[in-house]
């Protein structure tokens, strides 16, 4: 069945290809709301989802939004042929997964293909993500999915192999260690094409930090060029089309506030497969407020990452790290960039040991894997690259190659012009610093968008504090935001002293079972 309809172009963009038909035309075509239709234009068929209406679109018309202008030169008043389109096979595979049956490689391929072609509705995507969340998947399936996710996007082609990479599954504020690990590893002559995310719900992502020093948006060819010259890069993952299905899955996970374990694994490993990594070290921060709450969970993550890596031909090593408090003192793009640069400049005494410790531990694992350091001596060698200034020199090279100013020192980095110190109104030892509160206060102050906003901690776990001592300082570009952040700080009390407030059920806790 077919209908010739007149295009009615609506002045709106809704982020997906949907058309609106009059109820009567839809019924004639045997179609219902949410069905797929194919619209023929210049002999080419475009698949879109159907809305139906009694009023807005008249019989004989087809309402289309401006989204179509990105795929076609369709014009108001034009005549187009419309036919029912079949539900893609991948919906059958989603239903199969909902029934708890493992999918094959070709079935995952079909799903990924339809995901990135926008052939699946939000309902179908949500069903797929829910099915994986509920029914989980085998490592074999995860390998199929990760591989297909990678192959459906860009793949890096780097000259110098083997290729090393790192990833942190996140949850800990202040984790600026990539800005130390990449130059250490690259200075040692190993290839490390690091792509990072921007903050979604955190205070800042590595891409946000690096952007304080240099541009981070590059396509695959530009990344290859930078890495071929310097051995390393710190780029924004969003600029290069690695495993593009991942972003679409996130659009469904985010509103449900779920992070299905196996999709998380696939998301990481697909990107590592896409840069053709041979060795990856995964940082698994464990702590009350991170994604990993117990050693048991951490071990499961580690085991799954390693098994998945094995199936993808990637050697994976996992580092279970301490995640119960922020890394270092600085949280927020500019504050973190400054702290990282200070560490590279050799200002070890000005930089909290946790930053140096964690960076050299992680870098050391890569140096050992790359044969640059003997087994058990990786951290030590990493420290040498740091204290010798070689890592700083490499960072300047990478910064310059990315289009930044290599002459910038830590003292040049501007931080928020409005700031306020938070003073302790009691005394005792610091027993807890809440990651979640630190993140939320930093965001209230303007991070990650306002690069100069954030928090500088003056204490760490175990610090002895007297009444009147500075606990931390909030920075912001805006007086109003600073005010908001201060209110939140008063309410959330991110730093807990022994004897003051031992247990508190935070109001901001997400309702979770």
**Half-sphere exposure in the Cβ direction for 494 (13 Å, CA):** 32
d(CA 183, CA 234): 9
Does residue number 126 form part of the binding site for a second copy (CB under 8 A)?
yes
Does residue number 113 form part of the binding site for a second copy (CB under 8 A)?
no
The first and second tokens of residue 140, run together, are 């074999």
Does residue number 53 form part of the binding site for a second copy (CB under 8 A)?
yes
Nearest distance, CB of residue 496 and a second copy, angstroms: 25
Does residue number 33 form part of the binding site for a second copy (CB under 8 A)?
yes
Distances (CA, A) of 13 to 68, 72, 171: 9, 14, 34
Residue closer to a second copy (CB basis): 88 or 328 = 88
Residue closer to a second copy (CB basis): 254 or 388 = 254
Catalytic-residue membership of 412: no
Report whether 41 contacts 112 (CB < 8 A): no
CA-wise closest residue to 137 among 155, 171, 111, 118 = 111
Does residue number 37 form part of the binding site for a second copy (CB under 8 A)?
no
What does the buried/exposed string (b/e) look like for 298-310 if buried means 16 or more CB atoms within 10 Å of the residue's CB? beebbebbbbbbe
Nearest distance, CB of residue 49 and a second copy, angstroms: 9
d(CA 83, CA 37): 6
Nearest distance, CB of residue 33 and a second copy, angstroms: 7
How many C-beta neighbours within 10 Å does residue 18 have?
18
Q: Among 6, 72, 135, 463, which residue sits at the site for a second copy (rule: CB under 8 A)?
A: 135
SS (H, E, C) 18-74: EEEEEHHHHHHCCCCCCCEEEEEECCEEEEEEEEEECCCCCCCEEEECHHHHHCCCC
The first and second tokens of residue 398, run together, are 């990478």
Does residue number 302 form part of the binding site for a second copy (CB under 8 A)?
no
Site for a second copy in 198-227 (CB under 8 A): 200
Strand, coil or helix: what is 436? helix
Does residue number 25 form part of the binding site for a second copy (CB under 8 A)?
no
Q: Among 254, 293, 491, 508, which residue sits at the site for a second copy (rule: CB under 8 A)?
A: 254
Does residue number 134 form part of the binding site for a second copy (CB under 8 A)?
yes
Does residue number 98 form part of the binding site for a second copy (CB under 8 A)?
yes
Does residue number 314 form part of the binding site for a second copy (CB under 8 A)?
no
Q: Among 62, 82, 131, 242, which residue sits at the site for a second copy (rule: CB under 8 A)?
A: 131
Q: Among 4, 123, 295, 423, which residue sits at the site for a second copy (rule: CB under 8 A)?
A: 123
Residue closer to a second copy (CB basis): 258 or 400 = 258
Residue closer to a second copy (CB basis): 107 or 222 = 107
Residue closer to a second copy (CB basis): 189 or 255 = 255
d(CA 377, CA 368): 7
Residue closer to a second copy (CB basis): 117 or 200 = 200
Distances (CA, A) of 46 to 17, 83, 112, 172: 9, 10, 19, 44
Does residue number 449 form part of the binding site for a second copy (CB under 8 A)?
yes
Does residue number 506 form part of the binding site for a second copy (CB under 8 A)?
no
Q: How many residues bind a second copy (CB under 8 A)?
A: 62
Residue 119's DSSP bridge partners are none
Which of these is catalytic: 23, 67, 247, 259? 259
Stretch that binds a second copy, among 119-127, 160-168, 328-336, 467-475 (CB under 8 A): 119-127
Q: Which residues contact 124 (CB under 8 A, 6 or more apart)?
A: 90, 91, 94
Residue closer to a second copy (CB basis): 184 or 444 = 444
d(CA 93, CA 295): 35
Stretch that binds a second copy, among 91-99, 106-114, 299-307, 452-460 (CB under 8 A): 91-99
Does residue number 441 form part of the binding site for a second copy (CB under 8 A)?
no
Distances (CA, A) of 347 to 145, 249, 381: 44, 42, 18
d(CA 448, CA 477): 12
Residue closer to a second copy (CB basis): 21 or 139 = 21
Q: Mutual orientation of helices 89-98 and 105-116 as an angle, nearest 10°?
A: 120
Does residue number 251 form part of the binding site for a second copy (CB under 8 A)?
yes
Q: Among 13, 136, 288, 380, which residue sits at the site for a second copy (rule: CB under 8 A)?
A: 13
Residue closer to a second copy (CB basis): 100 or 189 = 100
Does residue number 259 form part of the binding site for a second copy (CB under 8 A)?
no
Nearest distance, CB of residue 53 and a second copy, angstroms: 5
Residue closer to a second copy (CB basis): 203 or 392 = 203
d(CA 205, CA 274): 20
Does residue number 255 form part of the binding site for a second copy (CB under 8 A)?
yes
Report whether 292 contacts 301 (CB < 8 A): yes
Distances (CA, A) of 214 to 346, 398, 401: 21, 9, 9
Does residue number 102 form part of the binding site for a second copy (CB under 8 A)?
no
Tell me which residues touch a second copy (CB under 8 A).
1, 10-15, 18, 20, 27-28, 30, 32-35, 51, 53, 55-56, 63, 65-66, 87, 89, 91-92, 94-96, 98-101, 121-127, 129-131, 133-135, 200, 251-252, 254-258, 443, 449, 484, 510-513
Catalytic residues: 259
């Amino acid at each position: 069945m077919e209908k010739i309809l007149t295009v009615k172009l609506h002045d709106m963009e809704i982020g997906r290809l949907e058309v609106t038909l009059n109820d009567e035309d839809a019924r004639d075509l045997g179609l219902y709301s949410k069905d797929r239709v194919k619209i023929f234009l210049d002999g080419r068929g475009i698949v879109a989802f159907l809305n139906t209406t009694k009023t807005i679109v008249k019989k004989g018309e087809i309402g289309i939004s401006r989204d179509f202008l990105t795929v076609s030169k369709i014009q108001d008043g034009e005549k187009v042929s419309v036919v029912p389109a079949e539900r893609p096979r991948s919906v059958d595979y989603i239903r199969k997964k909902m029934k708890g049956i493992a999918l094959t490689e070709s079935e995952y391929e079909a799903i990924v293909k339809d995901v990135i072609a926008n052939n699946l509705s939000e309902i179908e995507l949500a069903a797929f993500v829910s099915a994986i969340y509920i029914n989980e998947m085998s490592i074999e399936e995860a390998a199929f999915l990760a591989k297909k996710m990678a192959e459906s996007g860009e793949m890096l082609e780097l000259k110098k192999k083997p290729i090393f990479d790192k990833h942190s599954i996140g949850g800990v504020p202040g984790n600026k260690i990539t800005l130390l690990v990449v130059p250490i590893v690259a200075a040692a002559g190993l290839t490390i094409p690091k792509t990072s995310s921007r903050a979604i719900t955190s205070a800042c992502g590595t891409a946000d930090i690096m952007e304080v020093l240099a541009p981070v948006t590059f396509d695959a060819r530009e990344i290859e060029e930078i890495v071929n010259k310097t051995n390393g890069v710190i780029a924004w993952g969003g600029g290069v089309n690695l495993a593009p299905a991942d972003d679409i899955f996130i659009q469904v996970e985010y509103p449900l506030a779920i992070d299905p374990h196996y999709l998380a694994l696939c998301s990481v490993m697909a990107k590592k497969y896409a840069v053709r990594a041979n060795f990856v070290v995964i940082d698994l921060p464990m702590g009350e407020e991170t994604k990993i709450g117990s050693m048991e969970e951490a071990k499961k993550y580690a085991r799954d990452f390693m098994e998945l890596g094995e199936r993808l031909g990637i050697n994976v090593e996992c580092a279970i790290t301490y995640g119960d408090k922020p890394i270092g003192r600085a949280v927020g793009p500019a504050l973190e960039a400054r702290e990282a640069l200070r560490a590279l400049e050799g200002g070890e005494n000005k930089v909290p040991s946790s930053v140096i410790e964690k960076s050299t531990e992680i870098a050391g694992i890569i140096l050992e894997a790359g044969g640059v350091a003997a087994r058990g001596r990786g951290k030590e060698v990493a420290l040498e690259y740091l204290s010798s200034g070689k890592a700083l020199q490499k960072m300047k090279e990478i910064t310059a190659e990315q289009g930044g100013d290599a002459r910038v020192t830590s003292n040049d980095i501007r931080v928020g012009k409005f700031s306020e110190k938070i003073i302790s109104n009691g005394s005792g030892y610091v027993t807890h610093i809440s990651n979640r509160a630190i993140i939320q206060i930093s965001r209230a102050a303007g991070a990650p968008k306002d690069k100069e906003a954030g928090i500088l901690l003056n204490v760490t776990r175990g610090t002895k504090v007297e009444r009147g001592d500075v606990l931390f300082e909030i920075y912001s570009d805006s007086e109003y935001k600073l005010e908001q952040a201060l209110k939140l700080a008063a309410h959330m009390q991110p730093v807990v002293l022994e004897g003051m407030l031992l247990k508190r059920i935070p109001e901001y806790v997400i309702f979770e079972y």
